[in-house]
Amino acid sequence: MRQRLASFGWSAIALARRAATYGRRKVVAFGELWRHSVQFRVTVSTLALSSAVVFVLGMVLQNQITERLMDTKERAAIAQLQVVVQTAESELVGDAGQDEALRNRLNNAIKKITSSSTATQDTASSAAGAFEPVLAAGDPDEASEHAVYAGPYDKVPGGLRNFVENNSQAKQIHTAEGITYLVVGTPVTTTTRPLQLYLLFPLTTEQNTVATVQNTLLVGCLVLLLLLAGITNMVTRQVVRPVRRAAEAAERFAEGELDRRLDVVGEDDLAKLALSYNEMAASIQRQIRQLEEFGQLQRRFTSDVSHELRTPLTTVRMAADVLHASREQFPAGLARSTELLVDELDRFETLLGDLLEISKLDAGVEELSAELIDVRPIARRAVEQVKVIAGTAGSDIELDLPDEEVTAEVDARRVERILRNLLANAVDHGEGEPVRLRLVATDDAVALTVRDYGVGLRAGEAELVFNRFWRADPSRNRRTGGTGLGLAISQEDARLHGGTLDAWGELDRGSCFRLTLPRRVGEPLGESPLPLPPEDAAPARAPQPVQRNGHAEFTVTVVEHEEVR
User: For residue 140, is it within any domain?
Assistant: yes
Same domain, 349 and 481: no
Tell me whether residue 82 is exposed, middle or buried, using C-beta atoms within 10 angstroms of its C-beta: 0 to 12, 13 to 18, 19 or more.
exposed
Secondary structure, 3-state, 28-59: HHHHHHHHHCHHHHHHHHHHHHHHHHHHHHHH
What's the pLDDT at 549? Answer: 40
User: For residue 372, is it within any domain?
Assistant: no
Which of 358, 389, 409 terminates a domain? The answer is 358
Q: Return d(Cα 435, Cα 272) in angstroms, integer.
A: 62
Contact (Cβ atoms closer than 8 angstroms) between residue 515 and residue 423: no
Which of 260, 289, 321 terminates a domain? The answer is 260
Same domain, 457 and 535: yes
Domain housing 28: 10-260
Same domain, 429 and 309: no
Q: Return d(Cα 159, Cα 554) in angstroms, integer.
A: 92
Q: What is the mean pLDDT for each group of 10 consecutive residues in the chain (565 residues)?
A: 63 80 80 75 83 88 88 87 81 66 77 70 58 78 64 85 85 86 85 79 87 89 87 80 81 80 77 84 85 74 68 77 78 80 74 68 70 90 87 86 89 88 87 89 90 84 77 52 72 86 87 90 85 74 42 36 37
Of 363, 232, 248, the residue nearest 303 (C-alpha) = 363
Which of 310, 328, 358 terminates a domain? The answer is 358
User: For residue 565, is it within any domain?
Assistant: no
User: For residue 385, is it within any domain?
Assistant: yes
Same domain, 328 and 253: no
Domain with 402 in it: what CATH number?
3.30.565.10
What's the pLDDT at 430? Answer: 83
Q: Return d(Cα 458, Cα 506) in angstroms, integer.
A: 6
Same domain, 450 and 348: no
What's the pLDDT at 562? Answer: 37
Same domain, 280 and 252: no
Domain count, the chain: 3
What's the pLDDT at 181? Answer: 87
Domain with 282 in it: what CATH number?
1.10.287.130
User: For residue 339, is it within any domain?
Assistant: yes
What's the pLDDT at 542? Answer: 42
Contact (Cβ atoms closer than 8 angstroms) between residue 507 and residue 455: yes
Q: Return d(Cα 472, Cα 519) in angstroms, integer.
A: 35
User: For residue 500, is it within any domain?
Assistant: yes
Cβ neighbours of residue 456 closer than 8 Å, sequence gap 6 or more = 505, 506, 507, 508, 509, 510, 511, 561
- A 10 A CB-CB count for 182 gives 22
> What is the per-residue DSSP string for 363-418?
HT------EEEESHHHHHHHHHHTHHHHHHHT-PEEEE--SS--EEEE-HHHHHHH
What's the pLDDT at 534? Answer: 86
Same domain, 502 and 423: yes
Same domain, 233 and 277: no
Same domain, 206 and 286: no
Q: Return d(Cα 564, Cα 561) in angstroms, integer.
A: 10
Domain with 89 in it: what CATH number?
3.30.450.20
User: For residue 94, is it within any domain?
Assistant: yes
User: What is Dmax (Cα atoms) for the chain?
Assistant: 167
User: For residue 534, is it within any domain?
Assistant: yes
- What Rg value do the Cα atoms of the chain yield, rounded? 51
What's the pLDDT at 557? Answer: 34
Same domain, 138 and 278: no
Same domain, 524 and 541: yes
Same domain, 45 and 116: yes
What's the pLDDT at 360? Answer: 66
